[in-house]
Amino acid sequence: MDYTLLIVQMLNGLQLGLLLFLVASGLTLVFGILDFVNLAHGSIYMVGAFICASLTLWLGNFLLAVVIALPLTGAVGYAIEVLVARRLYDKDHLDHVLGTFGLILVLDTLAHMIWGPAGITVPLPAWLDGQVEIFDGAVIPTFRLLIIAVGLAVAGGLFWLVNYTKLGMLIRAGASNRTMVAALGVDIQTLFALVFALGAMLAGLAGMLIAPITTASIGMGGQIIITAFVVIIIGGIGSMKGAFIAALLVGVIDTMGRSFLDSGFALFMSRDAAETAAPAVSAMMIYILMAAILAFKPQGLFPPKVR
Amino acid sequence: MLKMNKTGWVTLIGMAALAILPPLLLLNGQAFYMDLATRLVILAIAAVSLNLILGFGGLVSFGHAAFIGLGAYAVGIPAYHSMWGGFDLIASSNGLLHLALAVGVSALFALITGAISLRTKGVYFIMITMAFGQMAFFLFQSLEAYNGDDGLTIDLRSELPFLNLDEPMQLYALSYGSLVLVMLLVRMIVNSRFGVVLQGSKGNAERMVTLGYNPYVYRLTAYVISGAICGYAGFLLGNFTTFISPDMMHWTRSGELMFMVILGGVSTMFGPVLGASIFILLEEVLSSFTTYWHLPFGLMLIGVVLFIRGGLMGLFKGKGE
């Protein structure tokens, strides 16, 4: 076994997992507190990527673009909450799904009109564009290390926010009993809008971080949203800890499957058969993982205690 | 004289229009409308199948497009091998084999995924069915043998006894006849003892348990029936388009099917057909005006969710119905 490759792929899996966590955390936060299924979360991820891409090209500075794009994406999320999402909260989940499906069509088409059908490549500053040799022979792009660092920092920040701040206290209280929190004089509507905007910023940040690697493009939201749903189903919908663990699990397993499954299969079947079977199985791997976990724990690894 | 209410009349007029108009237009040389109507009727079958579990069973399946895709590949893969060799077990252009495969594979997929999905409830069920649908999508996307993402052209349509599916009129007749039969079948199921238990479980599952029924078994059976019917719609769609690709299974396709059912009106016989009709016609009209037709379409979807309760069929319902 090639250990250098193994470690590099572990880090790639970790990076994918942390990106998934950024998207899934917003999804699970909004669901946990607002009981709202937001399919359009992936479109906000896309909007974040496009805003950041435009700003990078305009300002010539990727980091500055991210700093400006974050509150802008948050504002987009806030606007969506006020204009559409707010009116859907007291309807059932089916209506959430359809309403936000409509929202995807609207947001994707608007992005198409504004930024055109082709994707936008995001240039990185020279100091981020290189590679780092972690140890003998194991090389990883600097930018991927940055994604890992940012992902871990955001995860820590969210943990602190939810558990040790007043806003976090309100968020947790709102999640377990909405009516009670409102009765205590908290402006629940503003709180909800803030949570929604926070989720939008997290998704947007993920989009901004992936854009330099894959380009900002129209279909990007639809791809990640399903994986993010798989993550929060595995983790337990509404659980932040569950989302974190499940995101890393999915990220690592998906990456490992894609890189090592064919050599694994080749141990007990012909080379040709392995090369046919491996891509098919690795494409389904995270869904098989989800099915296996749900077969034993229908509410995911960390089912929310309340409700 | 049979006494009919308003929804009954709407159903009758709608179905009569679908029976008469497209063939008349075809005879007048308007093949385009025949194409449109064939697609409409096939998607209506899928929508009716979804309505069985979504409307009457209260099970919001967000992965129904997978069954359409499985049904279509059940035509495409045997046809491909009968043309280019290999996979002798199923290599054939025999339509009855295609049909059996489409229905059988869909039912099996529904049985396996349903057995797991139905252990969950509410929003978990929505998401897990969606994830299983995507699993099928990614599976076919990664199958290089069948061109993966690029899809497969069906060189030969299914060969059925007495019917030639290359003739648009005969394909439409088969599709329309199937729609009528499927609607009658769903009606029969819904009005049977089985259907009553299924609807009872939607309203109050615990009551059904107390009465000695196991809702899980009823739901799973309904899910398998629904998947099999939807697979049959896929069989027709494959024969209609003669081109199949994983895109047919994409989760947005499942979303569109759900939209058809909700737009027309859940738990009604004609609602899904009406929804599918409006959907196909709107798509056609809007996309002829602008390439950005998804924008008004999406806004309309949001509008329907926010303002129209019970779908369009709800508008026709008289008092006390």
pLDDT in tens, A284-295: 888 888 888 887
Averaged pLDDT, A55-60? 90
The DSSP element (H or E) to which A140 belongs, if any, is strand A138-141
Nearest CB among B131, B143, B305 relative to A98 is that of B305
Name the burial class of residue B4, with classes exposed (0-12), middle (13-18) and buried (19+) by CB atoms within 10 angstroms of its CB: exposed
pLDDT at B87: 75
B295/A105 CB distance under 8 A: yes
Whole-angstrom Cα distance, residue B133 to residue B136?
A: 5
The DSSP element (H or E) to which B244 belongs, if any, is strand B243-244
**pLDDT bucket at A300, cuts 50 / 70 / 90:** confident
Averaged pLDDT, B11-20? 88
Q: CA gyration radius for chain A?
A: 20
Percent of chain B topping pLDDT 90: 43
User: A105 to chain B: which residues are within 8 Å by CB?
Assistant: 294-295, 297-298, 301
Averaged pLDDT, B202-224? 87
Mean residue pLDDT of chain B comes to: 88
Q: What is the pTM of this model?
A: 0.88
CB of B135 less than 8 A from some CB of A: yes
At A116-150, the pLDDT tens digits run 888 888 888 888 887 887 777 778 888 888 999 99
Nearest CB among A95, A112, A276 relative to B305 is that of A95
Q: Contact, B61 vs B266, CB < 8 A?
A: no
Provide the 10 A C-beta neighbour count for residue B27: 10
pLDDT at B321: 46
Selected residue with higher pLDDT from B126 and B310? B126
**pLDDT bucket at A35, cuts 50 / 70 / 90:** confident
Averaged pLDDT, A172-179? 76
Residue B82 lies in a domain: yes
**pLDDT bucket at B319, cuts 50 / 70 / 90:** very low
Whole-angstrom Cα distance, residue B40 to residue B274?
A: 10
At B131-141, the pLDDT tens digits run 899 889 988 98
Nearest CB among B116, B262, B299 relative to A294 is that of B116
Residue B291 lies in a domain: no
Selected residue with higher pLDDT from B320 and A160? A160
CB of B29 less than 8 A from some CB of A: no
pLDDT at A307 over 50: no
pLDDT at A123: 84
Name the burial class of residue B300, with classes exposed (0-12), middle (13-18) and buried (19+) by CB atoms within 10 angstroms of its CB: middle
pLDDT at A305: 63
- Residue listed under structure tokens 């909800």: A192
A283/B138 CB distance under 8 A: yes
Name the H helices within B192-310: 193-203, 205-210, 215-241, 251-264, 271-289, 294-307
Q: What letter does residue A125 receive in the DSSP assignment?
A: P
Whole-angstrom Cα distance, residue A94 to residue B53?
A: 13
Q: At CA B273, angle to CA B307 and CA B5, rounded to 5? A: 80
**pLDDT bucket at B318, cuts 50 / 70 / 90:** low
A142-164 helix and A166-176 helix, angle to the nearest 10 degrees: 70
Whole-angstrom Cα distance, residue B202 to residue B206?
A: 10
CB of A273 less than 8 A from some CB of B: no
pLDDT at B188: 94
Whole-angstrom Cα distance, residue A140 to residue B177?
A: 61
At A242-255, the pLDDT tens digits run 999 999 999 999 99
**pLDDT bucket at B164, cuts 50 / 70 / 90:** confident
pLDDT at B211: 84
Averaged pLDDT, A82-97? 87
At B280-298, the pLDDT tens digits run 998 888 888 888 888 988 9
Averaged pLDDT, B6-17? 86
Q: Contact, B267 vs B56, CB < 8 A?
A: yes
> How many structural domains comprise chain B?
1
Chain A residue nearest residue B141, CA to CA: A280
3-state secondary structure of B15: helix
Mean residue pLDDT of chain A comes to: 87
pLDDT at B320 over 70: no
CB of B143 less than 8 A from some CB of A: yes
**pLDDT bucket at B2, cuts 50 / 70 / 90:** low
pLDDT at B146 over 90: no
pLDDT at A1 over 80: no
User: A110 to chain B: which residues are within 8 Å by CB?
Assistant: 295
**pLDDT bucket at B108, cuts 50 / 70 / 90:** very high
pLDDT at B28 over 80: yes
**pLDDT bucket at A42, cuts 50 / 70 / 90:** very high
**pLDDT bucket at A176, cuts 50 / 70 / 90:** confident
CA distance B142 to chain A (A): 5
- Residue listed under structure tokens 């995860």: A155
CB of B142 less than 8 A from some CB of A: yes
B52-B55-B60-B66 Cα dihedral, nearest 10 degrees: 30
Residues 6+ apart with CB under 8 A from A239: A28, A32, A300, A301, A302, A303, A304
Encoded amino acid at B231, one letter: G
B127-A83-A43-A21 Cα dihedral, nearest 10 degrees: -60
Write out the residue range of the structural domain in which residue B118 sits: 33-249
pLDDT at B178 over 90: yes
A287/B134 CB distance under 8 A: yes
Selected residue with higher pLDDT from B212 and B98? B98
Selected residue with higher pLDDT from B301 and A279? B301
